[in-house]
Amino acid sequence: MKFPMIHADERGETHFGVQDIPDREFAVGPPPNPMGQMSDLGAVITMYVISFSAGTEAPAHNAPQPYIVIVLSCEG
C-alpha cells in the first residue's frame, strides 16, 4: 500500500514522496468475512486525532516530523 509522505529536511525545505508499505490480504469481520488489505505500519508511539471545522485554512508551515494524514470530508 502506498502512502503519500510530506516532510521538511534539516534546511526546512519541503519534500513530497511516496512510502510503499507491504500489505497482505485480511478477512474483516464475521462471516461472510469480506476480504481487504492490511498494512503493518509498525509500532505506534504517539497518535493524534485532529479535526477542523469545514472551511478551516492553515498557513503553510514545516511539520516537526513526518505525518501520515488521512483526509475525510462529507456533506450533510
Give pLDDT tens digits for 3-50.
777 778 888 888 888 888 888 888 877 788 888 888 877 787 877 777
Please say whether the dihedral angle defined by the alpha carbons of residues 36, 29, 49 and 56, taken in this order, is positive or negative.
Answer: positive
pTM reported for the whole predicted model: 0.40
Q: 3: buried, middle or exposed (CB in 10 Å: 19+, 13-18, 0-12)?
A: middle
Angle at 39 between CA 33 and CA 40, to 5 degrees: 120
pLDDT bin (cut points 50, 70, 90) of residue 75 is low
Distance (Å, whole) CA 36 – CA 66? 26
Helix (H) or strand (E) holding 62: none
